A and B are shown apart, each in its own frame.
Chain A
Amino acid sequence: MAPLEPWEKVLITEAYLNDPHSGTSCITCHGGQQAKDKLTAHTGLVRNPTEDAEKFCGNCHEEIVGQYATSLHNTLNGYDVATFSRSVPENHPALEEAMNNHCSSCHTTCADCHISQPNSVGGGFLDGHAYVKTPPMTRTCTACHGSRVGNEYLGKNGEEIPGDVHFRNARMNCVSCHSGENIHATPENAVFNRYAGAEEPSCQKCHNDVGASGDPVSQHTIHGDKVQCQVCHSIEYTSCDSCHVAISEETGNPFFKTAAHYLGFFIGKNPRQDENRPYEYAVLRHVPIDPANYDYYGENLLPNFDLVNTWMYSTPHNIQRKTPQNQSCNACHGNSDLFLTADKVKPEELTANQGVIVDQVPSQVGGN
């Protein structure tokens, strides 16, 4: 969708005038004052009152607002954990400054999904300031989760790489799997990492006959819990290397520079093997980190870089029923191209990734 014109971004339409929320005066939420001229009217204006969700949304939507307080969309805890785990406490203030400057714009408020589209697609009302119960996929979800999830799901990674079967064949959107409850509330055991706790959503929720008795696909039973579903059913996806951040001397604005951005498919040892994800093998994505990411904010801010793998557990959103690796047993078994072997890892990251590197590619099986 083309970016909205400046006037269009703030045009209140009939949709809002018919919305139950319009019963409240504008000033009640946005501050400012009643005046004919813009300057006076906008004095003290609060652009996004839902930054204080408890005050402005909590009266009516108490349960959701209460749950949202610890949601990863709100806290962005994943960034903190991933960064601090590679550092030491005395470096945390400098890292926090860096993350406030460069990462916190991803923090999401109620209005960021239900009233407006994010700045990454130009901002502006979704529907004339009406509250949109189910945020539209491409104007909200993939506007933020675009370069990886969005491109994979919608098939924007090149003609040879189809989009996800759930989108191509069923036109499912994000909330078909990621329910509003999932998005608003992060389970208690996953508040520091989205891949902790139960798989949510899980493939089995819909495909509950997979691996069950009577499943006609014997490979499902053979592999059981040994491999993550995506190992057989996803295709090439995006990885990124470093993301160096700094403040521009010219404009004073924060900026980033990511190094390589590439497509590939890498099966590695599962770094999150537990009762919820018991798989021995999982697909791994390189995340945009290297030891010098935050050098602008201080020297050697990630002294424990090697404590955390840079090839991470991943769930590419480009599921296919048939993939190159599931055409036959030996399309995968013995095919070292598919596996994250040591030669595919940067020498300076070998220690960090020793737990996920595949030393011995599963050998070929007889009879194909």
Chain B
Amino acid sequence: MKRQILTTLMIVVVFISGCAAPKPAPAVESVEPEAPIAATETLADNETAKVDYCITCHTDKDALIANAKPEEVVVEESEGVG
């Protein structure tokens, strides 16, 4: 009898556990986009080729501010709606 009850209990436990919420998937390490390589004076010549100066400068707000040409003030000569 005890054995019968134990078996029934085990079946119920197994059945209920099937309805449980799925375990969250194991956290996958988020892959950070490759950070732009900073241009530094210490880079050896053979490493220079790996540096993307375009991205380095154009992702650097301060560098862009420092290098920005002052915008020309355009005298508006047109009149009326275009």
B71 touches A6 (CB 8 A): yes
- In the complex formed, the residue of A with least CB distance to B74 is A253
Known contacts: A6-B71, A18-B33, A25-B52. The answer to whether A257 contacts B78 by CB under 8 A is: yes
Contact partner of A41 among B36, B57, B64, B82, CB < 8 A?
B57
* Interface presence of B20 (CB below 8 A): no
Cβ-defined contact, B82 with A147, below 8 A: yes
One of A9-17, A304-312, A328-336 contacting the partner? A9-17
A-B contact count (CB 8 A): 79
A12-B67 Cα distance, complex, nearest whole Å:
15
Is B39 located at the chain interface by the 8 A CB criterion? yes
Chain A residues in 8 Å Cβ range of B64: 6-7, 10-11
8 A Cβ contacts from A229-274 to B:
238, 240, 243, 248, 250-251, 253, 255-259, 261
Residues A261 and B54 in contact, CB atoms below 8 Å apart: no
Chain B contact residues, majority secondary structure: loop
B79 CB, min distance to chain A CBs, angstroms: 4
The residues of A that contact B54 with a CB separation of less than 8 Å are 25-27, 30, 32, 34, 41
**Contact between chains at B80 and A261 (CB < 8 Å):** yes
Interface residues of B in 1-57 (CB under 8 A from A): 33-34, 36, 39, 48-49, 51-55, 57
Smallest CB–CB gap between B35 and chain A, Å? 9
Distance in Å: Cβ of B48 to nearest Cβ of chain A: 8
Q: Interface of chain A, helix or strand or loop or mixed?
A: mixed
Nearest Cβ in chain B — how far from A106, in angstroms? 9
Q: Is the CB of A257 within 8 A of B53?
A: no
Least Cβ–Cβ distance between B55 and chain A, in angstroms: 6
Query: Which residue of B is nearest A14, CB measured?
Result: B33
